[in-house]
């Protein structure tokens, strides 16, 4: 596939997460009234969907290593369509919660296989450039989904939105079936059952460098989900912005993250994924600490937004390089490795959001959490990731398929 075609097809598959969770946001209060339930249970329908997206990747990713990418993907998208339609007819909140979880499990196929397929067709700096393009979807979809949901809410009820989601599933099924070729040839698939799948998880988790990437990713993911969970309270309750002004600021922040991904794509071929990863993680921690200082010193909304934009710009740089480096050396286990990466990222959200809500001042809670999380990520990168990259030789971990990947991973540090 050409880079543009791959970015379009694989980027389309990454909308499962934002669409599944954010499209229904404007109609949660109406959903609660119609099903005679509480607001908290209505909101839980989003949390269980995110949990399904996290856990489902641990199943779909290894399956794609065994059967190839297309078959699990097509089954997953088809089941996502079916469960979305069933959600539209859910008679009770209990049944809806079960269906939303299954919808997330099915949708996880698109998320994890998009990353695994990208690893199949590219490596090193070229993979980082491709993932930077996919990152544009990841940054824009959380904005467009609630906006689209708000517009649809004017003409549809919450059941109608799930019918729309089913229609999106049909469209993505057509895109996947017609435009995405098989990226994992049969000789590279494994033929084992549960034992072989468990062994592959073990091989990936015994790669200490991969585990370091997981831990750093969990820290940066914590900072990002803290931002998502807190920013509406910070701007609307703390600084009294109108919903329209908040929407504008949220959109601008997402555009800044897009520029981060584009900037990474422009320079990563020359600088290398490792150097961009270290630089991005360090700059994120510095920006988050500046954010904390801005809040503590009460320096005003303008400076707070400027520093927050810098944090999100750096996040746009970190994300594609983190995935690139973590998947290096695991070409034969790309689905399994991508599943662990995706699970760690999606599992953070349902935990972080309610914990952050327990804090006092929303801006101070947000700034403290983001500063601590990104500082810990920076310390992990400098204390564990960077030294291991320097010590690693040109040979990848035992059993890896692409022998040139380790050099692509760490060469830029020398």
Q: Which of 277, 368, 369, 344 is nearest to 316 (CA)?
A: 277
The answer to whether 330 and 397 have CB atoms below 8 angstroms apart is yes
Whether the CB-CB separation of 49 and 20 falls below 8 Å is answered with yes
User: For the CA atoms of 301, 303, 304, 308, what is the dihedral angle to 10 degrees?
Assistant: 140
**DSSP count for the chain of H helices, then E strands:** 17, 0
Give me the average pLDDT of each 10-residue run along the chain (414 residues). 76 77 73 86 82 90 91 95 95 94 92 90 86 74 66 82 91 91 87 78 89 90 82 81 77 85 89 91 96 93 93 90 86 86 76 66 88 94 84 47 42 40
121: DSSP letter? H
Following DSSP, what letter does each residue of 222-279 receive, concatenated? HHHHHHHHHHHIIIIIIS---HHHHHHHHHHHHHHHHHHHHHHHHHHHHH-HHHHHHH
Query: Are 302 and 376 in contact, with CB atoms under 8 Å apart?
Result: no
Which residues, other chains included, contact 240 with Cβ-Cβ below 8 Å and sequence gap of 6+? none
Q: Residue holding tokens 């989904």?
A: 145
- State residue 1's pLDDT score: 62
pLDDT attached to residue 393: 42
């Amino acid at each position: 596939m050409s880079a543009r075609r791959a970015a379009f097809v694989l980027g389309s598959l990454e909308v499962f997460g934002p669409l599944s969770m954010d499209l229904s946001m404007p109609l949660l209060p109406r959903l609660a009234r119609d099903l005679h339930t509480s607001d908290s249970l209505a909101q839980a329908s989003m949390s269980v969907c995110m949990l399904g997206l996290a856990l489902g990747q641990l199943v779909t990713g290894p399956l794609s290593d065994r059967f190839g990418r297309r078959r699990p993907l097509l089954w997953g998208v088809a089941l996502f369509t079916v469960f979305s339609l069933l959600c539209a007819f859910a008679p009770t909140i209990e049944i809806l919660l079960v269906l939303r979880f299954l919808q997330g499990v099915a949708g996880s196929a698109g998320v994890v296989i998009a990353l695994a397929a990208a690893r199949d067709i590219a490596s090193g700096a070229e993979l980082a450039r491709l993932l930077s393009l996919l990152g544009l979807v990841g940054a824009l979809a959380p904005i467009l989904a609630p906006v689209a949901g708000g517009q649809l809410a004017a003409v549809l009820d919450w059941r109608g939105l799930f019918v729309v989601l089913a229609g999106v599933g049909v469209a993505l099924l057509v895109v996947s079936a017609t435009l995405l070729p098989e990226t994992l040839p049969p000789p590279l698939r494994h033929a084992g059952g549960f034992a072989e799948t468990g062994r592959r998880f073990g091989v990936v988790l015994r790669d200490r460098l991969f585990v370091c990437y997981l831990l750093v990713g969990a820290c940066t993911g914590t900072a990002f989900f803290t931002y998502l969970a807190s920013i509406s309270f910070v701007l609307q309750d703390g600084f009294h912005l109108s919903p329209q002004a908040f929407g504008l600021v949220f959109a601008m922040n997402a555009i800044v993250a897009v520029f981060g991904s584009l900037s990474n794509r422009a320079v990563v071929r020359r600088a290398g994924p490792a150097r961009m990863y270290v630089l991005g993680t360090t700059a994120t921690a510095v920006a988050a600490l500046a954010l904390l200082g801005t809040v503590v010193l009460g320096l005003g909304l303008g400076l707070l937004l400027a520093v927050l934009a810098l944090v999100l710009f750096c996040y746009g740089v970190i994300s594609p390089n983190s995935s690139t480096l973590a998947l290096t050396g695991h070409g034969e286990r790309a689905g399994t490795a991508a599943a662990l990466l995706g699970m760690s990222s999606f599992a953070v959200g349902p935990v972080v959001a309610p914990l952050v809500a327990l804090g006092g001042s929303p801006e101070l809670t947000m700034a403290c959490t983001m500063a601590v999380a990104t500082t810990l990520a920076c310390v992990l990168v400098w204390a564990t990731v960077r030294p291991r990259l320097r010590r690693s030789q040109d040979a990848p971990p035992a059993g890896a398929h692409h022998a040139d990947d380790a050099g692509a991973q760490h060469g830029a540090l020398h």
